[in-house]
Amino acid sequence: MESQFRRGILDACVLAVLERGESYGYQMVKDINEFIPITESTLYPILKRLEGGQMLTVFSQEHNGRLRKYYKITDKGCDHITELLKEWEEIVKIYRYITEAREKKDE
C-alpha cells in the first residue's frame, strides 16, 4: 500500500478510535488491529503528529499506581475525519468507475 495513502488511513483509524472516547496507546493498538495491522512503534509517531496538528490532546492519569498517557480528540480532529470521509467518497467513485470499466471490458 502506498505510504501516503496508508498514513492517511492510519490517521483516520486513530481519530476514529478517539471519537468513541479517550484512550491510551496499548488499547488503541488493540482496537485498530481488528481492521489494519499496527504496532505501538507505528502508533506513537502518529499520535505525536496528530497532537502537533492540534487534532488531539494528551493528559496523564494514574492507573494501578502508574501514570498513563491518555489521548482525546479535539474539534479540529473531528473536522479532519469529516474531510477524510469526503475524500473517501471521491475515492469510492473512482473505484466504481474503474471496476465498471473492467467489467465492460470483460463482456
Tallying the residues shown for the chain, one arrives at: 107
The string of DSSP codes covering 42-75 is: HHHHHHHHHHHTTSEEEEEEEETTEEEEEEEE-H
* Domain 3-106 part of CATH 1.10.10.10: yes
Model pLDDT for residues 55-86, shown as the tens digit of each residue = 999 999 998 889 999 999 999 999 999 998 88
- Name the pTM for this structure: 0.80
CB-CB contact of 55 with 77 (8 Å): yes
Percent of the chain's residues with pLDDT above 90: 70
Cell of 68: 498513563
Domain positions in the chain are 3-106
List the chain residues with pLDDT less than 50.
none
Q: Position 17: which residue type?
A: V
Q: What is the dihedral of CA 100, 37, 82, 8, to 10 degrees?
A: -80
Cell 502506498 maps to which residue? 2
What mean pLDDT value characterizes the chain? 91
